[in-house]
Structure 1
Amino acid sequence: MKISITKVNKNFLVILFWIIVWQIFAMLINEEILIVSPFKVLIKTFENLKNPNFYLILFNTSSKICLGFLLGFFAALLLSLLSYKSTLVKNLLFPLILFIKSIPVISFIILLLVFLSSKYLNIFIPFIMSLSIIYTNILQGLLAIDGKILEMARVFNISYKNKLKYIYLHSLKPYILSSTSLAIGISFKSGLSAEVIGIANNSIGRALYESKIYLDISNLFSLTFVTMLISLILEKFFTFLIRRLI
């Protein structure tokens, strides 16, 4: 408990330090069109929280990005298992995954706008981004499993359920955790980019775009802060869920 409290205190002091740096920087610039103080961002956040429409855009954006992430997660899990079992599938998927990882997100967004309505972009883009990240990590984890352990399990006729639990899932857990943590952050970044470019209705991305158009910098910072907080909460939730289930 003492270690935990000390860690919280250290994190609080680090955050406080950067808030002070932010405040000093805002005072030195003294131009709200460029940067606003943390105090004004806090006030704007409380104002947003009093607006029912604010919760609507938060829900719309978060739910769609989470849906895209979950679809990408399960698709990646399935494809990585198929690639692990079949060299042909792995070779066929290799150029596709490499293409997804290499091409800029902005190119995907613009290309998909030709075929999809902007309201679906914040599902499809996170799906693509999370798919490539999680697929690569899970496949790497599967290939890293020691063949001697699998051979020993076969010799001693260990049940499939126990092999799944004590060999496969145990070995894959760190790969799934790290890829999930990374994929959620990337999903939110790419999903919001898609919303801004597609100007999707009732979304955080559209609110960010309008804040930029009307030079409402305090709202721009406030929306960014809230989005970061939601992303962090969802990341902690999903990683906690994985730790409990695996």
Structure 2
Amino acid sequence: MGETEPTTKTRHRLTGALAVLFWIGVWQVASMAIASEFILAGPIDAACALIRLIPSSAFWEHVGFSTLRIVGGTVASYILAIALASLAWRSRVARTLVSPALSAIKSTPVACVVVVLLIWFGSVNVSAIAVFLMALPGVYFSMLKGLDELDRHLVELFDLFRARTVVRLCALIWPGVMPYLIAASETVLSMSWKAGIAAELIGVPDGSIGERIYQAKLLLETADLFAWTIVVVALAWVFERAVLALMRGSWPALGRWAARRGDAADASAPRDTHLAAEHLVVGHRGHAACPALDMNMHAGEVLCLMGPSGAGKTTLLDTICGLLAPLDGNLRIPTDTRYAAVFQDIRLVDELSAIENVRLFATTDTDARAMLAELLPDDALDKPVRELSGGQRRRVELARAFAAPADIVALDEPFGGLDRATHETALAFIARHRDERILIVSTHDEGDALALGAPILRIG
């Protein structure tokens, strides 16, 4: 029988603690062998010095001085790095201008940077500025990489449903970039303390931890030097663990918060939309997917697309929804038209529940639970959708498409993975909730057209 996760974590912590005790023992033995506190104070000597320092107000003033500047510089670097990476993600010009400068900063030795900063700014805030410059490139390049690697299909989903900025940030961008930021932070957060203390050792600002370490070195107070070093290591460890815990704990909490807010700035009823296509040619990279098509639809009308796999049904739906540009012909749809869709491939935020996935794009007054209850068993509504079957996930997408405010709904093989009973349930759901929307359904079953009372457009 395999170990449970808590047991594994306990074993790792115990192993780590034993390793630390082993090296403390080696340190103590080495100190005893050298037998000179001036050359190598042992852990007991360092502990005694630390116990002597902690009760004094001066100790906490020094800790506060350095902590304020190092943490402040780190936070400022994260804010600017995330802003610059977001700008570079959207603008190739910005990426071209910013990346070389940050690459140069990343390659410059900290000591050289500190010397220049001392000349320009003096010693009081040199640690804050040094930390800021050290952390900036690491966070920037990681954030930019995360943005570049966002799931293209989810980006299309959020674009098509016109998700508001807060929903996009909390449920798409943050979970996408978070692994990259965490990986960078595991290095940057501890390095920020090393860079900050190094800057203080060079600049020796009054009232800093770096000043106390420098003074301990001059006076050969080796035990004090080790005591202050232990303080720095402890502060760096606590800071790193706190920030990483905050990052890891933010997801999926942020997504759930965004889902509770609801979306759709424009929550009005479906409009009197029309769709007209004349000799419309759709395809990819200049290659037509099917012969030219003509269509003319108004609010409340339904059309079923039928044809063999690869005939161009998905390409046509993507073109109607604005995800692809037509190759030729005319496609006329009002510019303010709102869309919703069920894509051929499943596109859900896996860490969120069925209800939360629907609420991300639904209006605040939509009863997502009631809509989902028409399609799913009660015990599936609050589970993360990654735990649902393929057919259940497909039904979540169907509910999401009709919960969102839309004038045109495109359903690309929405009944895939459904047995006959759930297929009929889904058809009945569509009939109840289609309202005055234009509805276009890609299907292989002529019975779907009959059930929806829809004409068939054969493609291919």
TM-score by length of 1: 0.95
Q: Does 1:186 align with 2:199?
A: no
Contact 2:198 2:210 in 1 (8 A): yes
The aligned runs of 1:1-246 (5 Å cut-off) are 1-246=6-251
Counterpart Cα distance in 2 of 1:158 and 1:85:
17
SS at match of 2:37: coil
- Aligned Cα RMSD in Å? 1.5
Counterpart Cα distance in 2 of 1:147 and 1:119:
47
Q: For residues 128-167 of structure 1, what are the alpha-carbon distances to aligned partners after superposition, in whole Å with 9 as ceiling and x for unaligned?
A: 1111111111011111113233123323444443332222
Amino acid at match of 1:76: A
Amino acid at match of 1:33: F
TM-score by length of 2: 0.52
Structure with greater strand share of residues: 2
* Range moving further from structure 2, 158-167 or 113-122: 158-167
Counterpart Cα distance in 2 of 1:194 and 1:147:
42
* Range moving further from structure 2, 80-89 or 30-39: 30-39
SS at match of 2:207: coil
> Unaligned stretches of 5+ in structure 2?
1-5, 252-460
* Range moving further from structure 2, 3-12 or 76-85: 3-12
Deviation at 1:185, TM superposition (A): 1.2
Counterpart Cα distance in 2 of 1:234 and 1:240:
10
Deviation at 1:51, TM superposition (A): 1.6
Counterpart Cα distance in 2 of 1:106 and 1:73:
22
Deviation at 1:9, TM superposition (A): 1.8
Counterpart Cα distance in 2 of 1:241 and 1:218:
35
Q: For residues 100-130 of structure 1, what are the alpha-carbon distances to aligned partners after superposition, in whole Å with 9 as ceiling and x for unaligned?
A: 1111000000011111020010111111111
Counterpart Cα distance in 2 of 1:18 and 1:102:
33
Q: Which residue of 1 aligns with 2:387?
A: none
Counterpart Cα distance in 2 of 1:231 and 1:128:
18
Amino acid at match of 2:108: I
Structure with greater helix share of residues: 1
Deviation at 1:52, TM superposition (A): 1.4
Amino acid at match of 2:121: L
Larger radius of gyration: 2
Counterpart Cα distance in 2 of 1:59 and 1:186:
19
> Unaligned stretches of 5+ in structure 1?
none
Q: Which residue of 1 aligns with 2:367?
A: none
Amino acid at match of 2:224: N
Amino acid at match of 1:134: V
Q: For residues 32-65 of structure 1, what are the alpha-carbon distances to aligned partners after superposition, in whole Å with 9 as ceiling and x for unaligned?
A: 2221111111111100112210111001101111
Counterpart Cα distance in 2 of 1:163 and 1:194:
39
Deviation at 1:95, TM superposition (A): 1.5
In the alignment of these two chains, the number of paired residues is 246
